Amino acid sequence: MSEPIVVGIDGSEESDRAVLWAAAEAVLRERPLHIVHALESWPYRAPLFMPAETTERMTRTGHRLLTATRERLRERWCHLEVTTALVSEEPSQALQAQSGQAYELVVGSRGRGGFAGMLLGSTSLRVAARPTVPVVIVRGDTGDRGEIVVGIDLLRDVDTLLDYAFETAALRDARLRVVHAWQTFGTLIEAGYAIDGEQIELDLRGQVIETCEPLRAKYPRVDVVDEIIMEHPVTALSHASRNARLLVIGAHQRRWTAPQLGSIAHGVIHHARCPVAVIPSS
């Protein structure tokens, strides 16, 4: 079996959008779909303080949700291979464990019930902060039109990031917009330095083109647009997401504290107008 697309659900509107996005992704990539529902774990850890019928009711409800979701997807995609898992664990831990051998993990931007913490800043951000596979946070416009946008930092290794973005654009027959935002430009001007803006932009564009050259050769049919933007990366990528069907960014975790997203990835996830794919650092 190929590595599945894993998606977390809880019955909320946001998780419904996430599971539909994940199912379409699984069909497109010809991969199985694995649906996970996490029960609140504390009743199971403290059975003496919780009536048995409560935990049984929660379990039955979880099974019904998974079964109904699976059947709904099979009606739409009859050849899609779908498996399910009901787990008694904290949502972020459950998703990380279930996606250990996955190709990709998909979550909604917020949730309720079993994923009550699925608000930006909670479950979605927790799984995105420790990605071992690409994590897609489904929010904003989930239509099938528009560009694939990828934000790159020329000071980091972007091979894995670009490979995911190019492959995604090729599968969707979509234009790929490669964005490099450089805030330092404005800062230097404000400080009174004489700056040759045109030359800096030319130099940066040349670096972007050179960085993307191996992937252009690998995916020759992908229409690629290079864009150099002289503003904060969060602002630049958030604006670019308005016309995108998917925004691809690197996790860029801070490694000297508890695992958490870098400030740019954190900001982009909060302000993007389309689903965001967070790619693990290579």
Kindly give the confidence (pLDDT) of every residue in the chain, 282 residues in length, as a single tens digit, with 9 standing for 90 and above: 599 999 999 888 889 999 999 999 999 999 999 999 988 655 545 555 556 566 788 788 899 999 999 999 999 999 999 999 999 888 888 999 999 899 999 999 865 544 444 444 477 888 888 889 999 999 888 888 999 999 999 888 899 999 999 999 999 999 999 999 876 555 555 555 545 567 778 888 999 999 999 999 999 999 999 999 988 899 999 999 999 999 999 986 555 444 556 788 888 998 999 999 999 976
Where in the sequence of the chain do the CATH 3.40.50.12370 domains occur?
A: 5-138
Sign of CA dihedral 70, 76, 82, 87: negative
* Euclidean distance between CA atoms 99 and 280, whole angstroms: 13
Yes or no: domain 147-279 corresponds to CATH 3.40.50.2300: no
* Euclidean distance between CA atoms 282 and 275, whole angstroms: 22
**Token pair for residue 228?**
């150099």
Return the CATH number of the domain spanning residue range 5-138: 3.40.50.12370
Residues 6+ positions from 88 with CB-CB distance below 8 Å? 38, 39, 41, 44
Looking at residue 119, what is its pLDDT?
41
Residues 6+ positions from 132 with CB-CB distance below 8 Å? 96, 99, 100, 280
3-state SS of the chain: helix, strand, coil percent to 5? Answer: 45, 20, 35
- CA-to-CA separations, 93 to 40, 162, 234, 280, in angstroms, rounded: 12, 28, 28, 17
Looking at residue 129, what is its pLDDT?
84
Looking at residue 56, what is its pLDDT?
80
**13-29 helix and 159-172 helix, angle to the nearest 10 degrees:** 90
Where in the sequence of the chain do the CATH 3.40.50.620 domains occur?
A: 147-279
Looking at residue 219, what is its pLDDT?
97
pTM score, two decimals? 0.87
Looking at residue 175, what is its pLDDT?
98
- Residues 232 and 135: beta-carbon distance below 8 Å: no
Sign of CA dihedral 255, 234, 136, 103: negative
CA atoms within 13 A on the CB side of 165: 32
Amino acid at 40: E
